[in-house]
A and B are shown apart, each in its own frame.
Chain A
């Protein structure tokens, strides 16, 4: 420890005295070490660093100790210990020494000179200056890449904001937040990230209360995932709302119509598969082909079955082209009541209908209503003694096709009916719909006031809004009725409405 340190102070002053260039070079490592030491252990290092320098007077350490220097070391130690900063003890000590005892021995004198040189060196280029320089240099170094990056990010942000705007809002926001954090960590203004969120929300709603903004995003995020999951359950009463106007059945059809896109996709997917199946049937024969495809695409079919069943009126209309598909898809609305019928009839019809066009078979097999049919007609199949895999599909197909054709006619008729027709509530009371003109007027004014430039409402949109309106009134008035009932009243009061409105505020 002491050996190398003794050397160092000797060397540095010499160099510093000799060369200016060296002077500049030398202090930096030294100061660095000092700095390090000061950081590492404030009290002890200065003493350690100082002691050798005081003892640099080669011989006199033993000599000086008994004399004046004996005072020095402990005092310096004390001082250094007291003044925690490492540099200060170095300077005040010699000054004291100057004042108190001038070095007498040549060694001491020399040591003193060296120390003074060191001092001058240090004072000349004060550590503060050095630090400043270093910092400024560091700043320059830091700044340039950061600035570049910052500028880049800003440029990129501006460019990317509009393009990335459409698909995912969540990610953008989180990114923006991240960037903001980064920006704040970097220390300066973060204009780029700040711009993004307002852009998203700005055109849509300007003056609305902000706490309403959060839910839609949340709901959308939530809705995306369970949209498929819910739809599995949701379709049960999908169609019931039209004739019987059951209250919650209507929600089912929301999903029904939401799934239409998927349904259409399914239809597209079915096309090639049906063709494939035709080919396979031609090549191998119907049963094996069916079996093969059953094995391969079981999961897909189970999914498609759900989707297909859930296909709404719209999808039926939209699909259009592949009529057999839409025919084959049993909408739940009809299959439920008429389930018993097909179970009885197919037995008679099997021999006649055993040669229906293969695509129909393919479709039916694709839609795994097969599984249901197997459940239903399992006994029948065993009676007739035909291959189980193909049988039910063959039997049911023509049946369902005929029934479905009728139903679809009804459906299409129904499709237009509910919009205009009077409806019957849960309690069997007829009620009108709010006139669409009123709704349109309201909605248009709302859209216009919300800042959207395109204040037009298409007919389909208005229909969707009307549907929502209907549901809303149904839901609201049911709730109101419950509130009134709870309050023991026969009529719905304003207080009920207030309660209702308080509930969802």
Chain B
């Protein structure tokens, strides 16, 4: 159902980037940004899964994500 629609709202990503950077974003750069985000999310979830596993939880808990997201963010810093 949703697969037929777009993967992500491009306009939203553009607006987010624009708002945070106070700069325009070129035509297709938002796709790259979203790719970056995807990588980030993957990293986050992977680490969170490890963390959750270490804590003996089933699935990924919000605590695991909270613990991990900062490092993930650090990793994706420019």
Say if the beta carbon of A431 comes within 8 Å of chain B: yes
The residue from A205, A212, A468, A494 contacting B65, defined by CB atoms under 8 A apart: A468
Give a binary string over A412-434; 1 marks a CB under 8 Å from any B CB, 0 the rest.
00000000000001110111111
Is A492 within 8 A of B25, CB to CB?
A: yes
The residue from B53, B60, B78 contacting A457, defined by CB atoms under 8 A apart: B60
Once the chains are docked, how many angstroms separate the CA of A198 from the CA of B41? 23
- Asked if A480 meets B21 with Cβ closer than 8 Å, knowing A204-B49, A450-B46, A469-B41, the reply is yes
The residue from B36, B38, B62 contacting A458, defined by CB atoms under 8 A apart: B62
The A-B contact count (CB < 8 A) is: 230
Indicate the size class of the contact surface on chain B. 35 or more
**Chain B nearest CB: distance from A258 CB in Å?**
6
Once the chains are docked, how many angstroms separate the CA of A446 from the CA of B49? 11
Is B32 within 8 A of A504, CB to CB?
A: no
Say if the beta carbon of A203 comes within 8 Å of chain B: yes
Nearest 7 A-B pairs (CB), nearest first? A481-B21, A479-B78, A431-B19, A477-B20, A497-B32, A491-B24, A429-B19
Q: Give 25 A-B contacts (CB < 8 Å), ordered by A residue.
A: A204-B50, A223-B71, A425-B22, A431-B15, A431-B18, A432-B12, A434-B9, A452-B60, A457-B60, A461-B65, A465-B41, A465-B45, A468-B41, A471-B73, A472-B40, A472-B76, A473-B17, A476-B76, A477-B21, A480-B29, A481-B23, A485-B23, A491-B25, A494-B28, A499-B78
Which residues of chain A have a CB within 8 Å of any CB of chain B? 165-169, 200-201, 203-205, 208, 212, 215-217, 219-220, 223, 251, 254-255, 257-258, 261, 425-427, 429-435, 437-439, 441-443, 446-447, 450, 452, 454, 456-458, 460-461, 463-465, 467-469, 471-485, 490-494, 496-501, 503-504
Which residues of chain B have a CB within 8 Å of any CB of chain A? 2, 7-9, 12-13, 15-26, 28-29, 32-33, 35-47, 49-51, 53-56, 58-63, 65-73, 75-78
